[in-house]
Amino acid sequence: MAPVAGHRHPRSSEEAETAAAVAAGQDGEEEPSVEVAFAGQPPPPWWRQVTVRSVAVSTVLGAVLSFMSMRIGLTAGVGPTFNIVASLLGFFVIKSWTRLLARFGVASQPFTRQENVVLQTCIISCSTLSFYGGFTTYLLAMTETVAKSAGGTGTGKDVYTLHTGNVVAFLGLVTFASLFCTLPLRKLMILDYKLMYPSGSAIAGIVNSFHTPAGAATAKRQVLAMSKAVVGSFMWASFQWVYTGGSGCGFQVFPLFGLKAYKQKFYFDFSASLVGVGMICPVLINFSMLFGSIITSFFLWPTLQSKKGDWYNDPSPTNFKGINGYKVPMGISMVLGDCLFQLGSITIRAASHFHMNRQQRNPGGTNIPADGNSDKQTALSYDERRRNKIFLNEGLPGYVSVAGYILFAAVSAIFVPRIFPQMRYYHVALLYAVAPILAFCNSYASGLCDWSLASVYAKLAIFLVGAWVGEASGGAIAGLAACGVMLMIIGNAAELMHDFKTGYLTLTSPLSMFISQVIGTALGCLINPLVFLSFEKLVGKEHLGEAGSVFSAPLATAYRGLAILSVEGTKILPKHSIEFCIAFFLMAFCLDCLSAVAKARKWKASNYIPNAMAMAIPFLIAPNIAIDMALGSLLLVIWKKTDKKNANMLAVVVASGLICGDGLWALPSALLSIFQIEPPICMKFFSSHQNKIMREHFLPKVTTSR
């Protein structure tokens, strides 16, 4: 029967468009379409993308990843990103749950890629607050323990006692404001300027592969590989615990390169999580850290130690009037030199890209709309047309975003000075006025090259506000609090754009993305303070940030150093420290210039020029971390040489599994500590001379009878 004119099937036009897209992809006229595979699966409405089960799973996984992130930050000074881990774990947990229900004949809502993205976004919104919330950086730097470790007295207006209620209120005010900061710019960033946001695009690719028939086999292999890595890493961590029955015992203090190197903290500590981090980080970054560790451990620090009594007299290894007065300022100088170059470079690139896009969009004085009414819009691919339709039709109006930000800014100006008395309302108001401009710059730059400068802007806030308030009025605490405001607003705004890019590429509703951000942020504001409180109870408040302890929090010491320098100036530093700082600042800047020139001219040596930022890290933390991460890179290089296909497919998930398994051991380890169950064996290493003395004084002499 012929169809009646004017009564076409409501989906016939879309089906025809889909068929055309398939034909175009087969003929090579367009790139292979992703959305053609999902043509028979229309995206569910936003209220079915944010589900009760996704929120429940987000709560559990957000708490676990927050714990692991905080633990790594407190020990290694590294802020790992768990985006891929969150996607994998979320997919694995809910898929397993739906299959379990199906075995018992219980029907459940299908697990869609949109729900997967919402789940991942919610988890990451919660876990990233372990870093942006300052629990391993600026908040911890306010405490008495870190103040003493950095050489201060730990008293007066320059320290602040962290009360859980105040921390929750501070996080809630600032982080919810960050959600509204750049929300009106999502169309400009993603549709008009077509910024890539590499991390967000990568997550979208993984999620799309998980939920398509073609990607099912790959997803199964990835989940299996990750499961094996988690189990292996967890078992290895539990095996190591058996040999840590005493101070300085266990595999963590294995003097692989000799006892002299061990005295300079140059050893391999068999940390599976740091090896996993090394597999994720670029090879050049890891080996730049190793190069910096070799220079500092074997050349620079021994030279400065030989000057004791001449250049400085303070014997404390942590006081800024002693050798720490060289280490931390020199490391910070290298960081600032690298950041200054990166800031200038990215600003120039962003301005050039912005101007070029503006000319392309407005060549004759008339803007070309991106709403489907222009000739340019008709030339879009099938995938872009489907994605643009959902991305433009759903979301919050711009005036709601502006009103929300202004409301939170006004409330923060009233209540933040009550939480931190060293600040005044005009300090907070100025920070909120400047933050959207910097957030736009940072989000634009992050979309171009996946590099967030939020921490750079935050460190500048320490100097500006700290100097403004002054030492007598508690400028160190005021500067650190200002750092928190800037870091959370600018960092979260960029993270939100990455999530919107993921949602755009998976046909996820922008409204459901925003709601998941709100839920994840609310969870993070409650979970992270409780996780930090658990560390205080289990480890001891006096040991969090203590120099030389397991939880030394190197980044907190660095932030404290910046705060001290901002209010006290250079008068507390030892002799020639300023000259060293200037030299290393210039060295970092020149190294970046050399690297940029080498890449521009395509020199072969460009891949071997060390990264200045990575070289600065061993100035602030122990070199054993660089050794673990370099080993991770070495294993990845060998894997790619022997089996490139499987390495490209599984390396990231295996690395994620190593991080997860080692981090999960922290939970039973904490329980063993609570119940005062000690490891049964102490494995320790001595020199032959020490062994001889021990045998003579502690072992009974063996006598023989005739």
What are the residue ranges spanned by the domains of the chain? 48-221+387-543
Q: What is the pLDDT of residue 419?
A: 94
Percent of the chain with pLDDT over 70: 82
Q: What is the pLDDT, as a whole number, of residue 671?
A: 67
- Rounded to an integer, the average pLDDT of 209-233 is 74
Model pTM? 0.69
- Residue labelled with tokens 């433009």: 392
Token pair belonging to 249: 């015992």
pLDDT of residue 2: 37
Q: In Å, what is the CA distance from 100 to each residue of 93, 107, 684? A: 11, 10, 47
Mean per-residue pLDDT for 650-669? Answer: 76
Q: Which residue has the tokens 């300079």?
A: 264
Higher pLDDT, 606 or 48: 48
Q: What's the pLDDT score for residue 155?
A: 63
Cα distances (angstroms) measured from residue 241 to each of 274, 427, 577, 679, 683: 17, 48, 41, 6, 11
For residue 620, pLDDT beyond 80: no
Residue 673, pLDDT > 90, answer no
Tell me the average pLDDT across 503-514. 91
Average pLDDT over residues 535-552: 83
pLDDT interval class at 216 (50, 70, 90) = low
φ/ψ bin of 661: left (φ > 0), alpha (ψ from -120 to 50), beta (otherwise): alpha
Q: Report the range of poorest mean pLDDT among 213-227, 229-243, 555-569.
A: 213-227
pLDDT at residue 229 is higher than 90: no
pLDDT at 666: 67
**333-358: b or e for each residue (b if 16 or more CB lie within 10 Å)?**
bbbbbbbebbbebbeeebeebeeeee
Q: Which one of 88-92, 155-159, 444-448 scores highest in mean pLDDT?
A: 88-92
Mean pLDDT of the chain: 80
Q: Give dist(CA 250, CA 252) in Å, integer.
A: 5
Reported as a single tens digit per residue, the pLDDT across 143-158 is 988 888 876 666 667 8
pLDDT digits (tens, 9 = 90+) for 286-341: 888 889 888 988 889 888 888 888 888 877 666 667 787 888 788 878 877 876 78
pLDDT value of position 152: 66
DSSP calls for 616-682: HGGGTS-THHHHHHHHHHHHHHHHHHH-HHHHHHHHHHHHHHHHHHHHHTHHHHHHHHHTT---S-B
Would you place residue 345 in the very low, low, confident or very high pLDDT band (cuts 50, 70, 90)?
A: confident
Which run of H or E residues covers position 520? helix 510-539
pLDDT tens-digit series, residues 468-488? 898 888 889 999 999 999 999
Question: In the predicted model, what is the mean pLDDT of residues 428-450?
Answer: 83
Give the torsion sign (CA, 599, 601, 602, 605).
negative
pLDDT(613) > 80: no
DSSP β-bridge partners for residue 682 = 244
CA distance 47 to 509: 10
The pLDDT assigned to 341 comes to 82
Q: Per-residue pLDDT averaged across 178-198, rounded?
A: 83
Q: 230 with 665: CB under 8 angstroms?
A: no
Identify the pLDDT of residue 227: 80
| Portion of the chain with pLDDT greater than 90, in percent | 22
Q: What is the pLDDT of residues 36-78, one digit of tens each?
A: 777 777 889 988 999 999 999 999 999 988 988 888 788 767 6
pLDDT at 222: 73
Helices and strands (DSSP H and E) totals, the chain? 31, 0
Task: Give the pLDDT score at 158.
Answer: 82
pLDDT for residue 491 is more than 80: yes
The pLDDT score that the predictor gives to residue 523 is: 95
How does pLDDT run across 106-164, given as a tens digit for each residue? 888 888 999 999 999 999 999 999 989 999 999 999 998 888 887 666 666 788 888 99
pLDDT for 169 equals: 94
Q: Which whole number is the average pLDDT over 353-371? A: 57
Is 100 exposed, middle or buried (CB count within 10 Å of its CB: 0-12, 13-18, 19+)?
exposed
Does residue 436 carry a pLDDT above 80? yes
The winner for highest mean pLDDT among 409-413, 565-569, 688-692 is 409-413
Give the mean model confidence (pLDDT) for residues 568-592: 85
> How far, in Å, CA of 264 to CA of 261, rounded?
5
Report residue 706's pLDDT band, with 50, 70 and 90 as the boundaries.
very low
Q: What is the pLDDT of residue 372?
A: 42
- pLDDT by residue (tens digit) across 3-42? 333 333 444 445 545 545 444 444 444 455 667 777 777 8
Q: What is the pLDDT of residue 471?
A: 83
| CB hemisphere CA count around 180 (13 angstroms) | 18
Residue 375 has pLDDT above 70, yes or no: no
pLDDT given for residue 478 in this prediction: 94
> What span, in angstroms and rounded, lies between the C-alpha atoms of 241 and 146?
27
Q: Give the per-residue pLDDT at 370.
A: 41
Q: What is the pLDDT of residues 636-655, one digit of tens each?
A: 999 999 998 888 878 877 88
pLDDT of residue 215: 53
pLDDT of residue 371: 42
Give the pLDDT score at 699.
Answer: 59
Q: Does position 560 have pLDDT exceeding 70, yes or no? A: yes
556-578 average pLDDT score: 80
